[in-house]
Amino acid sequence: MIGKETSFVLSDGSSAGNWRLPTMKELCTLMDYGRRSPALPKGHKFWVAPDSYHWSATTLGYYPKMAWIVYIESGTTCYEDVENIAGYIWPLRDAK
């Protein structure tokens, strides 16, 4: 078969390798810190995002097994151990 493996092509025409975790800075640009449950701008496309926390790709420089997270419910940020805690991801892909 020539081209993309069809079993790995998503419904929007992208493939698994096109997606990545956002950086902490990218996640924080989505937040509206004046709102709660969720702390997203009114009318945001993903208004029904779970109120739990979402992982970023940004790790702590001195301890790479710790990554920054954002609580969508409040916009609060902190970091957690990537090996011990489950959470959500908000994958993104760069513009074509």
Domain layout of the chain by residue ranges: 17-81
Residue type for position 60 = L
Is-contact 9 15, C-beta < 8 A? yes
Q: In what order do the strands lie in the sheet with 53-60?
A: 53-60, 63-71, 77-81
pLDDT of 22-77, one tens digit each? 999 999 988 888 988 888 888 887 777 777 889 999 999 899 899 999 998 898 99
Could you give the CA distance from residue 96 to residue 87 in angstroms, rounded to a whole number? 28
Residues 1-30: tens digit of each pLDDT: 455 555 566 777 777 778 899 999 999 988
pTM comes to 0.75
Let me know the angle formed at the C-alpha of 16 by 3 and 88, rounded to the nearest 5 degrees: 170
